[in-house]
Amino acid sequence: MKHSFLLPTVSDRMWNNFHAVPFLFLFMFSSFLMTSTLFSASRRENTPPPPGIVIAASPDWEKLFYGTPSMEIMEDGTYVFTHDWFGPASKGERTFVYQSTDQGKSWTKVSEFPDQKSGSLFRLGNTLYHIGFYRPGKKGMSNECIAIRRSDDMGRTWTHPVDSRNGLLCSDDRYYSDPVPVLVHDGRVYWQIDRFNPEKKNWPPYDTLVISAPDDSDLLNASNWTRSNDVKWDENWPYRGWLEGNCVKRPDGNVSVLLRVEDWHCPGGPGKHAARIDLSKDGRKQEFVKFLNQFPGGHSKFCIRFDEVSRKYWALTNWIQPNQKGARNTLALVCSDDLDQWEVRQIVYQHPDGINGFQYVDWRFVGNDIHFVCRLGWFGKNMHDSNYMIFDTVKDFRNSSREKDAPPLGHLK
């Protein structure tokens, strides 16, 4: 579907008339706004339905965008989902909480809380937590902190971070987070966070560290958490930086962190690299190990989980197909036996247009399937400024294959 408009014809005399120029520009600008509005309305009217089950949809595709989905499944089978918002029409940091009691077929918003975003849901028993980026808005304190909240009623009510004994975990510097997996392993809870490095030249401007705590301790008390050393980015490395790391249990039982790598400017094309850092048993020391040179979709956030049945690591990533240049318009299921060698097993979503993005997926194993939530940019402003949150399923994932690749999704009508 093509859209076009013609600028008004203007004589040379009018261009040279100083008094007429402001009125001309006003007319042209008004015409542009009217045409843009008509284009946006037409685009929305002619957009095919998004894939999956819609959890939330932005009412304003130009100014309000939804981000950072996370999902947890409670002991009784209730699904809890969170997301935040961004863009000119968003009003401060805020997290929105939904529940599903029918395995994702329908969703109900049950609560929201202010000043926190980009967080991960996880549970210990039937106690639910949300850990993420927090702006306390207090004079004399960093406004880029890490905080944790607890819910004892599956997300309907939450504690509020007040101080280091009540949810405020990292407030001494500038930190950032995204909904990367929380690893519960060998009696401890592990989570990766990013710390701002003002001396770093390129985006992303972060060093990386891990915080961990005994899983039977009061997780709202910062004194129960152990911080690792920071691993700083080496400007001599061939890529631009890292962020959004996954704490994972290695086959030998130790913990590593696999991080997204910004490799857009590297020779041979982007989307193939991740970084590995190993963590000591006491959670205090990290050490960079290597870059993974064949990690499909390592340029964008991913979520790795280990399946006890197949004894494989699985992830849903934004693999860049050889015949495409888009950043996030393919969602692929990938797997590995050892965290080093990865293969694409199946394409879950694909679209030829780079304006669409299937991104920041969080997910859980459910029997033979994978249930996932996705931040979806669907014929909106661009692939990054996402206008939907959706839920969907990868069926029989252990028997996935490229023969089961999903066909390309639809175009504008």
pLDDT of 10: 32
Task: With respect to residue 368, please indicate whether it lies within any of the assigned structural domains.
Answer: yes
Residue 335 structural domain: 46-404
Structure tokens that stand for 374 in this block: 């996705």
| Secondary structure string (H, E, C) spanning the chain | CCCCCCCCCCCHHHHHCCCHHHHHHHHHHHHHHHHHHHHHHHHHHCCCCCCCEEEEECCCCCCCEEEEEEEEECCCCCEEEEEEEECCCCCCCEEEEEEECCCCCCCEEEEEEECEEEEEEEEECCEEEEEEEECCCCCCCCCCEEEEEEECCCCCCCCCCCCCCCCEEECCCCEECCCCCCEEECCEEEEEEEEECCCCCCCCCEEEEEEEEECCCCCCCHHHCEECCCECCCCCCCCCEEEEEEEEECCCCCEEEEEEEECCCCCCCCCCCEEEEEECCCCCCEEEEEEECCCCCCCCCCCEEEECCCCEEEEEECCCCCCCCCCCCEEEEEEECCCCCEEEEEEEEECCCCCCEEEEEEEEEECCEEEEEEEEECCCCCCCCCCEEEEEEECCHHHCCHHHCCCCCCCCC
- Whether residue 32 is predicted with pLDDT greater than 50 in this model: the reply is no
Task: With respect to residue 279, please indicate whether it lies within any of the assigned structural domains.
Answer: yes
**HSE-CB for 221 with a 13 A CA cutoff:** 7
pLDDT of 268: 65
CATH number at residue 288: 2.120.10.10
Task: With respect to residue 224, please indicate whether it lies within any of the assigned structural domains.
Answer: yes
Model confidence pLDDT, tens digit, residues 337-375: 999 999 999 999 999 988 999 999 999 999 999 999 999
pLDDT of 26: 33
Model confidence pLDDT, tens digit, residues 205-245: 999 999 999 999 999 999 999 999 999 999 999 999 999 99
Model confidence pLDDT, tens digit, residues 385-402: 999 999 999 999 999 999
Task: With respect to residue 24, please indicate whether it lies within any of the assigned structural domains.
Answer: no
Model confidence pLDDT, tens digit, residues 76-121: 999 999 999 999 999 999 999 999 999 999 999 999 999 999 999 9
Task: With respect to residue 35, please indicate whether it lies within any of the assigned structural domains.
Answer: no
Count of domains forming the chain: 1
Task: With respect to residue 285, please indicate whether it lies within any of the assigned structural domains.
Answer: yes
pLDDT of 138: 82
The b-or-e profile of 319-346 (16+ CB within 10 A means b, else e) is bbbeebebbbbbbbbbbbeebeebebbb
Interatomic CA distance for residues 283 and 214, integer angstroms: 11
Among the residue ranges 72-86, 137-151, 173-187, the one predicted with the least confidence is 137-151
Asked, as a colleague might, if the bond just before 270 is cis with ω within 30 of 0, I would say: no
Task: With respect to residue 268, please indicate whether it lies within any of the assigned structural domains.
Answer: yes
Task: With respect to residue 12, please indicate whether it lies within any of the assigned structural domains.
Answer: no
Q: What is the pTM of this model?
A: 0.88
Mean of the pLDDT values across residues 311-317? Answer: 99
Q: Is pLDDT larger for residue 382 or for residue 7?
A: 382
